[in-house]
Amino acid sequence: MKSKISYFAGLDIGGTTVKAILVDSQGQQAGTLVEVRSLVKDGYAATFGQLEVAIEQLAAGACVERGAIAGIGLDVPAPSSDGVIWGRANLGDDWVGTDIRGLLSARLGVPVYMTNDGNAAAVGEYALRKDHSSSLMLVAPGTGLGGGLVLPGGRCYEGVNGMALEVGHVSVPFREDDGSLPTCSCGLTGCSEAWVSLVALRRRLGLELAKPEWAAHPLNQTAASIEEKAFRLREFAQDGDELAVSIFRRQGFILGYLIADLVRVFDPGLVIIGGGLAETSFRDLYMTWIEEGFADRAWSVYRFSPLDPEQVTTRFEWATGGDAAAAIGMAYAACELFQ
């Protein structure tokens, strides 16, 4: 048993699984990624039990005593401030307004850092890169549209209330064909998330499939649910299907347009595109659509240096951490904060 060294655990609470990673005091991963079932809908007490299971598995997998784990980084799929969740998101009701960080810290007997999943993934992408000289901004289209900003040195910019980088609820000046604004999951209209997310994709696909020009489209010849059709849309885009490409192209353009305004605020140097699109075979094409939207809105100095037109000022990269990025980020953050 290697118990003299301190270890730090990163725990990522998702809707279906809890992902967990252990690092040593050098930030090197110890053992492998652990996944256990998430019980978020059953409340925080049930979830804490699952976190303990994950921690036991982490310790066993790395051949270390559980007592060697000196700190925890935890991310939750909801806005939070100072360890308290503000919005319900996909969690059970008892999470909101509860001192999750304090309760978990007391239960485990170690300090806990807590943030939202967008911030956690941004820190993970930062940790996975060797170059730590510039800040890094993550935008991650998934079920919603999350984001995070990591400053040089590795600290996540969370704002005074932990509410910074809610990029999915920044408004963008786009309208539906009939001139209306789409309603966002947050209740507002015109949010970027209402255009760039899985939820938005389903709505857009439903609207398009109702048009006469797509009556003969294969997705109109099946009784599958809109969720299933939206899921299959990626395959269609990979095969160059006109409808699928047009939908993703518009989504990518709006994402790029949003990024241009975010870059105007934060000037991060490196923009990481996360979410499931990073794993698709048409991602290169999708990136060109993001860049189209970015070029449409960003001043040229945000694209190329005025001194050297060959020098790119805002770089775009795909996320590399996959769905382990948030757990990696939380292990990294705990290691930085608690050793």
Q: Which residue is associated with the tokens 């997998």? A: 61
C-alpha 204/C-alpha 132 separation (Å) is 38
Residues 6+ apart with CB under 8 A from 274: 121, 125, 138, 139, 140, 141, 142, 146, 319, 325
Give min distance, CB of 330 to Zn ion, in A.
Answer: 25
Q: How far is the CB of 132 from Zn ion (least distance, A)?
A: 32
| Shorter beta-carbon distance to Zn ion: residue 186 or 226 | 186
Nearer Cβ to Zn ion (35/166) = 166
Q: Are 100 and 46 in contact (CB under 8 A)?
A: no
Q: How far apart are CA 54 and CA 21, in angstroms?
A: 9
Q: In angstroms, what is the minimal distance from the CB of 188 to Zn ion?
A: 5
Q: How far apart are CA 259 and CA 256, in angstroms?
A: 5
DSSP 20-73: EEEEETTS-EEEEEEEEE--GGG-HHHHHHHHHHHHHHHHHHHT--GGGEEEEE
Closest separation between CB of residue 182 and Zn ion, Å?
10
Helix, coil or strand: residue 336: helix
Q: Enumerate helices (H) and strands (E) in the chain, giving the number of each.
A: 8, 11
Q: How far is the CB of 184 from Zn ion (least distance, A)?
A: 3
CB of 205 to Zn ion, least distance (A): 20
Residue number with CB closer to Zn ion (84 or 186): 186
Least distance CB 289 / Zn ion (angstroms):
22
Which of 238, 218, 215 lies closest to 228, judged by CA?
218
Tokens of 258: 């949003």
Q: Give the residues lining the site for Zn ion (CB under 5 A).
A: 169, 184, 186, 188, 191
Least CB distance from residue 192 to Zn ion, whole Å? Answer: 8
Pull the structure tokens for residue 237: 């885009």
| Chain-centre distance for alpha carbon 322 | 10
Cβ proximity to Zn ion, 96 vs 186, nearer residue:
186
Nearer to Zn ion, 70 or 186 (CB): 186
Residue 139 or 237: which CB sits closer to Zn ion? 139
Task: State residue 81 phi and psi, 5-degree precision.
Answer: -145, 125
- Which one, 31 or 79, has the nearer CB to Zn ion? 79
Lookup: tokens for 300: 């040229």
Q: Which is nearer to Zn ion, 79 or 124 (CB)?
A: 79
